[in-house]
């Protein structure tokens, strides 16, 4: 039986194992899925060496960028994005990286867009935000980053944000883990009074399905979306990659 898995840190919250296990059972596919919760990305080599039937991996926080130097090859789009969330393992043990977050985010965001959705704030600058930025570029939506600390390419610190700034960006995307189970009473520190009914609040988090971030958006009448549809879409895209479809 072939094996697939998820590489990340503190990933007990992840739905990926449940999603794929149910898929394999429902479709009677000869695969199993395992979580590999590791403290450092350097452990990846040991995982592959000790799991000879492993043919593919998903990669999540905080390793989407750190995994790249360990790969033998990288898909053109993933290289442009600068982050990998899917790995295909060849019969000879060669690792090729892909990014399916782009596909999942694009397909889940597009149905929500209206003509006034022309600018976005990306909360966070980690690996997940890379695919989001790439997608927004492709959709011709202007965007700026928000971070806790000053760094190249970041326009705002959280401490810089005002109601006026928030109201001037019609899409707010949370790419941080803030609000993920079990810390469900936390949310990104932004001035929610600037949110209006013209906003989209999109949270990449899918556990819980209704984060505090999204609840704050709902209160203000914004359109809200969690990351579960994105997860489903990127997971199916990854499945096609693993099967060379």
Q: Which two tokens stand for residue 164?
A: 């006026």
> What does the block give as tokens for 127?
């690996």
Catalytic residues: 64
Residue 94 token pair: 């060669």
Structure tokens given for 193: 């009074």
DSSP state of 190: -
- Spacing of C-alpha 80 from chain mean position: 16
Tokens of 103: 């596909």
Measured CA to CA, the distance from residue 61 to residue 63 in angstroms comes to 5
CB 30 within 8 A of CB 3: no
């Amino acid at each position: 039986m072939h094996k697939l898995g998820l590489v990340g840190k503190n990933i007990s919250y992840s739905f990926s194992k449940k999603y794929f296990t149910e898929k394999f059972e429902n479709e009677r596919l000869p695969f199993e899925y395992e979580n590999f919760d590791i403290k450092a990305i350097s452990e990846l080599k040991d995982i592959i060496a000790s799991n000879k039937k492993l043919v593919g991996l998903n990669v999540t926080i905080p390793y989407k960028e750190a995994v790249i130097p360990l790969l033998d090859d990288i898909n053109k789009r993933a290289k442009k994005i600068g982050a990998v969330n899917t790995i295909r393992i060849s019969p000879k043990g060669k690792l090729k990286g892909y990014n399916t977050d782009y596909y999942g985010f694009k397909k889940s965001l597009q149905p929500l867009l209206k003509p006034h959705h022309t600018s976005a704030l990306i909360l966070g600058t980690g690996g997940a935000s890379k695919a989001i930025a790439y997608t927004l570029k492709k959709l011709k939506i202007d965007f700026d980053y928000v971070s806790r600390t000053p760094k190249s390419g970041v326009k705002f610190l959280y401490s810089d944000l005002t109601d006026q700034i928030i109201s001037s960006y019609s899409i707010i995307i949370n790419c941080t883990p803030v609000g993920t189970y079990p810390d469900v009473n936390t949310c990104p520190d932004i001035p929610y009074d600037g949110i209006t009914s013209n906003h989209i609040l999109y949270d990449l988090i899918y556990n819980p399905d209704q984060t505090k971030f999204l609840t704050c958006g709902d209160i203000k009448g914004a359109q809200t979306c969690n990351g579960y549809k994105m997860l489903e879409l990127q997971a199916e895209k990854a499945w096609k990659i693993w099967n060379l479809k």
